[in-house]
A = this chain, B = another copy of it.
Amino acid sequence: MTYQPQFGDIAHLGHIELLTPKFEESLAFFTNTMGLHVSGQTDNSVFLRAWADYERYTLQLTRSNTSGLGHVAFRARSAKILDELVQHLESHGAKGEWRQESFGHGSAYRVPSPDGHIVEIYYETEKFQPVGDQVPGYKNMPQRYRPLGIAPKRLDHVNLLAQDIKACRLFFRDLLGLRVTEQIVFEDEEMGAWLAATNKSYDIAFTRDKSKAHGRFHHLTYMMDSREDVLRAADILVESGIAIETGPHKHAVGQTFFLYFYEPGGNRIEVGAGGYLIFDPDWKPVVWSREERSKGQAWGLQTVSTFHTYGTPPEEED
């Protein structure tokens, strides 16, 4: 029988490569204010992770002349599934290429999303090995919690801008087996799609790019254990002089508690908490209309205009 990708074949979002034109400032922000941990570096990149991320890294920060997405990587369920996914992609016209072992993980297949974002799939990975004062007090955690800065718990999701939301949604649903959890559809036009590889309400989202650009990045999100932690993060940002774009507030979509801001390189970052888990294997996507979205966020906050228009790299027209 022909292989058909099913929910769970992509195990989870693995890491995100973020480009920054202000490498040193970005790095200082992610280590000091965000409280991420450096776990390696190469000539042009530093590799970072949150304290409860189990792999070697979840964020690759790369020196560049612009901001935006380098690539986004997902870990497959097994080596066999990785191969089957790649064959399935190729047989459905999604042609990419294999790359040899990279920092922290084994060979990976890179394929463009319908909007041109570089999507990577891999299976072999290097798990984080704590040493010294990183050794956790709780043996079910990969590392000791270090109370410095915002100190999020783990990478949660990525949000990408795209011209054709439907194409991106079907790419991740039909070629990679993700579950479509929520959508925004204005009349007949898809404006947003949220998809999950796990029981979370989403691991990747696509929202409509108002500019004509392709392959742009909207935000990535690290998760806190509680909404109180997000409120604390807001104070830390204010005290650090980092511009908060919007929040803390609650999303109607996904039910997550959010806080958006910009790292020094210009990329939008979120720290969040909460949301809901989906257990129903037959989940039907929740579809929000233009009228429903016009009510603003969960508690009525109107979405700030930059949230609809700003992505990285920025458009000159923006």
Mark A residues whose CB is within 8 Å of B.
7-8, 11-12, 35, 52, 54, 75-78, 127, 136-141, 144-145, 147-151, 154, 182, 198-201, 225-229, 231-232, 234-239, 241, 243-244, 246-250, 252-255, 257, 259, 274, 276-277, 279-281, 286, 288, 292, 298-301
Contact = CB atoms under 8 A, between A and B. Distances in A.
A30 to B, nearest CB: 14
B255 A147 contact: no
A18 B140 CA distance: 31
10 contacts: A7-B8, A11-B280, A35-B147, A141-B276, A145-B239, A226-B228, A229-B232, A235-B299, A244-B299, A248-B248
A298 B231 CA distance: 11
Contact of A279 (B54, B145, B298): B54
Contact of A276 (B140, B149, B199, B243): B140
Contact of A136 (B35, B150, B239): B239
Ranked 6 nearest A-B pairs via Cβ: A12-B279, A228-B228, A11-B281, A137-B239, A199-B199, A140-B286
A236 B280 contact: no
Contacts of A52: 276
Contacts of A77: 281
Contacts of A237: 299
Given A11-B281, A147-B147, A279-B198, A139 B235 contact: no
